[in-house]
Amino acid sequence: MELPPPSPTSFLAAALAAALFLVAVLRGRPARKYNLPPGPRPWPVIGNLDLIGPLPHHSARDLSARHGPLMSLRLGSFHAVVASSPDMARFLLRTRDLAFVDRPRTAAGRYTTYNCSGLFHSPYGAYWRQGRKLWQAELFNARRLASLEHVRGEEVRSMLSDLRAAAAAAGGGRAAAVALREHLFMVNLNVISRMVLGRKYIVDGAGSPFTPEEFRWLIDEHFFLNGVLNIGDVIPWLSCMDPQGYVKRMKRSAKMFDRFLEHVLDEHNERRRREGEEFVARDMVDVLLELADDPNLEVPIHRNGVKGFTLDLIGGGTDTSAVTVEWAMSELLRNSEVLAKATEELDRVIGRDRLVAEEDIPNLPYMEAVVKETMRLHPVAPLLTPRLCRKDVSVGGYDVPAGTRVLINIWAIGRDPAVWEAPMEFRPERFGGGGADVKGHDFELLPFGSGRRMCPGIGLGLKMVHMILANLLHAFAWRLPDGVAAEELSMEETFGLTVPRKVPLEAVAEPKLPAHLYALS
């Protein structure tokens, strides 16, 4: 049987495929002048993508165990290095921080943050430097955080009231298991909404385009799409095809967020117009709009810039603290002795006649140790956010070329037996007497990163985690549901921009304080 001769179209397709393959192979070869760190041998086109599993920080840890604390990977068309020791993290984030301060360009930055108009995805340059200064000086300074302490206290009390009601309703008047995740998400969302937007848009309604459920989905989608490995980012000639459908989802979520943010900015501008010279900034959006009007700024902040910064504030402040507290509660429920010590400290320092206030936190050293130990084992961004090498750098005798993607595996560092004694055990006592801090000075513990790209919201994040966790433990006696043994509690993760529990935590909450402390004033 004779086959028909190939058509001109098939010849063209074959030639194009061959050309693309050849280009990919040639681009996949590192320049011979570089002495790259050791790493697995890459395949043409895909590089080492076949070695990256659904939990990339686990895959990177396992590969680094074979190839060393500074490891080369080929992610599609791009060279990457992974650091997995405190010494390597210190060199990249402090010693040569300026060389590694840039961000790689991604579809998420383009489509979900107004073409990198926020701080998170913004490339290094005058705009980013100005934005960083504004965040530190205007949005997260100590005076502003202190002035909004009452907001955090009110919303934590509201969460405790809701938890008490939910537990009673589920148990027919008796304590029953409650799903913590939604309560943790809502308290953080409400705090951020009031601090950033001026009120609880999602809860209070008043023209908000979303229900709380829709907004929760939108936040989850935003975090997922900003943390996922988009093939088009690492194999650029595939980006136009959007093979995973992620870009389509990015455009959809961006359009939805823009509808919400336009509504917020219109309301704020209307109040500014209405109040005229008597206008006083009441929230962070007001501050951002005032800054955007400043003619003395080195780089103008346009409307998309205000929306980009606002989106960073909402996203960064909502999910991260909630994920950390859920992991902390999971570890405490698996370790009854640690839970008993934490609650004993609260009873001794606070008593049973009031809730925990922010001013109490420095007097709760064991609670601080519990938070540190949680962040060691369960950092919300286990690979930090990828950085981009701006120029050729020599690291530990190896070359890191300009354009290299840089990942710091703080999850692996936190579980390294060469760094920590019994690293898989939850032992807050290891931080007795202070120990390592989480503020970017101790490179064995970097939940917020370090250097110029360190998380600018660390102050607020720590306040929220401590306040929520301390009050949960103080207001309720906690245990696992009947039939669930501590050693059987699932601790599986799911990967995105943050790494939450795969299965939401459920636990029995029994109120233990006087009833009036749960009441809303």
Pick the closest to residue 415 from 55, 87, 94, 84 (CA basis): 84
Is the CB of residue 180 less than 8 Å from the CB of residue 507? yes
pLDDT at 315 (0 to 100): 84
> Are the beta carbons of 67 and 39 closer than 8 angstroms?
yes
pLDDT of residue 21: 55
**Neighbouring-strand partners of residue 276:** none
> What is the amino acid identity at position 279?
F
Q: Look at residue 3 in the predicted model and tell me its pLDDT.
A: 36
Pull the structure tokens for residue 386: 């990828």
For 495-512, what is each residue's pLDDT tens digit? 988 999 999 999 999 999
* Tokens of residue 101, six digits: 């301060």
Q: What parts of the chain have a pLDDT lower than 50?
A: 1-19, 22-23, 25-26, 30-31
Q: Which residues are annotated as a binding site for heme?
A: 455
Q: Are 160 and 475 in contact (CB under 8 A)?
A: yes
The β-bridge relationship of strands 405-408 and 78-83 is: parallel
Per-residue pLDDT tens digits for 259-295 = 999 999 999 999 999 999 999 999 999 999 999 999 9
Domains and CATH numbers, the chain: 35-518 (1.10.630.10)
- Rounded Cα–Cα distance for residues 211 and 463 (Å): 27
Half-sphere exposure of 372 (CA within 13 A, CB side): 23
DSSP state of 117: T
Binding residues: 455
Hey, how many other C-beta atoms are within 10 angstroms of the C-beta on 483?
6
pLDDT at 18: 45
pTM as predicted: 0.91
Element (H, E) at 154: helix 149-170
* Range 163-166, long-range pairs (CB < 8 A, 24+ positions): 163/472, 163/475, 163/476, 163/509, 164/475, 164/476, 164/509, 164/511, 164/518
C-alpha 133/C-alpha 168 separation (Å) is: 47
Is the distance from CB of 390 to CB of 100 less than 8 angstroms?
yes
DSSP result, 196-208: IISS-HHHH-TT-
pLDDT of residue 215: 82
Residue 27: the pLDDT is: 53
